[in-house]
Amino acid sequence: MKRSLYILVVCCLAACSGGKKPMETPRDQLVHRLFSYAEKGQIAYGHQDDLSYGHNWVVTDWENDPLERSDVKGATGKYPAIVGFDLGGIELGSEQNLDRVPFGLMRKAALKHIERGGMVTFSWHPRNPLTGGDAWDISSKEVVKSILPGGEKNAEFMLWLKRAADFLESLGKDTPLIFRPWHENLGSWFWWGKDLCSNTEYQELFRMTWLYFTKERGLTNILWCYSPNGNAGPEAYMSRYPGDEFVDILGIDTYGNIRGGDVEASRAYFRGEITQQLTYLTALSTGHHKLMCLSETGQEGLGDPEWWTATLEPAIRDYSICYVLTWRNAHDQPGHFFAAWEGFEHAADMKAFSELDNIVFLD
Ligand code: BMA
Per-residue pLDDT tens over the stretch 230-284: 999 999 999 999 999 999 999 999 999 999 999 999 999 999 999 999 999 999 9
Q: Contact at 8 Å (CB) between 152 and 197?
A: no
Percent of the chain with pLDDT over 90: 93
pTM of the model: 0.95
The dihedrals phi and psi of 54, each to the nearest 5 degrees, come to: -145, -165
Q: What is the mean pLDDT of residues 23-37?
A: 96
Which residue has its alpha carbon closest to ligand 1 atom 4?
99
Taking residue 153's Cβ as centre, other Cβ atoms within 10 Å add up to: 18
Q: Is the pLDDT of residue 142 over 70?
A: yes
Residue 37: pLDDT above 90?
A: yes
CA–centroid distance, 48 to ligand 1, in Å, is 10
108 CB near ligand 1 (under 6 Å): no
Q: How far is CA 155 from CA 5, 131, 196, 296, 344, in A?
A: 47, 15, 21, 31, 48
Q: How far is the CA of 338 from the centre of ligand 1 (A)?
A: 12
The burial class, CB within 10 Å (0-12 / 13-18 / 19+), for 93 is exposed
C-beta of 99 in contact with ligand 1 (< 6 A):
yes
Tell me the pLDDT of the chain averaged across its residues: 95
pLDDT at 22: 76
Ligand 1 centroid vs 202 CA: distance in angstroms?
Answer: 22
CA distance linking residue 82 with residue 113, whole number of Å = 8
191 pLDDT exceeds 60? yes
For residue 48, the ligand 1 atom closest to its alpha carbon is: 12
Percent helix, percent strand, percent coil in the chain, to nearest 5: 40, 15, 45
Give residue 7's pLDDT.
54
Q: Hey, whose CA ends up nearest to atom 9 of ligand 1?
A: 99
CA of 58 to the centre of ligand 1 (A): 16
Indicate the pLDDT class of residue 4, thresholds 50, 70 and 90. low
- Ligand 1 atom closest to the Cα of residue 86 is 12
Q: What is the pLDDT of residue 363?
A: 86
Q: Name, in order, each residue with C-beta under 8 angstroms of 339's C-beta and a sequence gap of 6 or more.
A: 47, 50, 71, 72, 75, 298, 302, 326, 329, 350
Q: What is the pLDDT of residue 3?
A: 56
Neighbours of 12 (CB within 10 A): 11
Is the CB of 86 within 6 Å of ligand 1? yes
**Distance (Å, whole) CA 101 – CA 47:** 15
Per-residue pLDDT averaged across 26-44, rounded? 96
pLDDT tens digit string along 290-336? 999 999 999 999 999 999 999 999 999 999 999 999 999 999 999 99
Distance 17 CA to ligand 1 centre (A): 41
Q: Of all helices (H) and strands (E), which one includes residue 58? A: strand 57-58
d(CA 119, CA 82): 5
What percent of the chain shows pLDDT beyond 70? 94
Give the pLDDT band of residue 17 (cuts 50, 70, 90): very low
